[in-house]
Amino acid sequence: MERRDFLGKTAAAGAFVALSPAARVLGANDRVRLGMIGPGARGQELLGQLQKLIDRKNEQAELVAVADVYTRRHDEVKAKFPNVKAFTDYRRLLDMKDVDAVIVATPLHCHARHFVDALAAGKDLYSEKTMTWSIAEAEECRRAAKQANRVVQIGLQHVSSGAFQDAKQWVKDGLVGKVTHCESWMSRNTPRGEGQWVRKVPADCTAANVDWPAFLNGRANRPFDGFKFINWRLYWEFSGGNVTENAVHQFSFVMALLDLPVPASAYMSGGIYSEKDGREVPDTIAITLDFPEQEVLVTWQSMFSNKHFGLSDRILGSHGTIDRTSGATEMVAGTLQDDNARYYPEKANRPDGAPIVGASDDIQHLGNFLDCVRARKEPNAPVELGYRTAVAAHMANLSYRQKERVTFTRASSMTTAGL
């Protein structure tokens, strides 16, 4: 299906959603029956989290079915969940009446299709970040979610962190004062000659074992390419690069903390400076997001050839500073090390203030989704946050590709695929 056709059909899908009842009404102690579309590296990490929830916390949930265009993933999941049903066509999973909720962990360029179709099937939804591949898809998915009235959690795990809970309380209590600048960064490194994200192609990753047209998802047809299939993050037509893989997490931390809307404008500079390995997306990045009505500036920097400063967010206020610094980040799981938030008073406005070290525990993001499925409550990372962070990420990428500052109005009218 061409992208234009997809966007045209989602409105009809949304109209159908409003008439689609849930398969069943869950009680507080009912078992949530899950299906997953896309149990690749990230998907299997989430399945590992699910298993830990079941084993350690007696979570009432079970994996019923998975769907993936690569048959290898079927075998990998069955090795850990022997009774699970596995499909190549995700629509067969959505047709199952004994699936209450769906986890979408497919490559970014497939998120919107699976997002809308899962809601149309009457399922609750956990969709990995970034919510969509483009701004147009973000608009369509937001509309579909509003019409569906289902529980939807976006995989922006940083807003379930203990650091976020502590920072939110400090802001609420007025300890930070007037915030005008938030600065974030994320840095990694690999041995010289080995590009970040580049993964080996398994021997069985062949046209016989992959539904290549389904993976292309409306992109121009071409012969099977195992390297692009495995390393889709390196290419614009499938990915948004490091901005949609990592920056969006830190955007969510800052934007949810300060309740920021979509940016008025964005500017991104950088390039492919670390490794010349054929990738299209930049590995060295500096982003500025403008929020003039809120009088806030948000900046984000990243590089792939030095990891000394790890990951950090700093909320700079007139009365105090919130500093969340992690020594490292894990590529697939997105887990952090030493993720406590710390508060430091600005003596000019809080002369009697004292430093504070946050102590709140993380909330398990998938567990939060399951709780909300039963309670019919809004989860920690709802669609609206997914929408705002997706738009911010896409505005930044559009700015980089157009080599100019991009406003929200201009970005909304641009066609990503035409760049």
pLDDT digits (tens, 9 = 90+) for 188-245: 999 999 999 999 999 999 999 999 999 999 999 999 999 999 999 999 999 999 999 9
- Distance of CA 23 to CAs 44, 120, 164, Å? 26, 12, 34
- Distance of CA 259 to CAs 135, 253, 263, Å? 20, 10, 12
Whether 4 shows a pLDDT value over 50: the answer reads no
pLDDT digits (tens, 9 = 90+) for 159-170: 999 999 999 999
Q: Which CATH superfamily does the domain covering 162-195+236-361+395-418 fall into?
A: Dihydrodipicolinate Reductase; domain 2 (3.30.360.10)
The answer to whether 44 and 76 have CB atoms below 8 angstroms apart is: yes
Whether 292 shows a pLDDT value over 50: the answer reads yes
pTM exceeds 0.75 for this model:
yes
Q: Report domain extents, the chain.
A: 3-158+367-382, 162-195+236-361+395-418
CATH number for 3-158+367-382: choose from 1.20.1730.10, 3.40.50.720, 3.40.50.620, 3.30.360.10: 3.40.50.720
The answer to whether 162 and 360 have CB atoms below 8 angstroms apart is: yes
**pLDDT at residue 189, as a whole number:** 93
What ranges in 121-190 are assigned the alpha helix state H? Answer: 135-148, 162-172
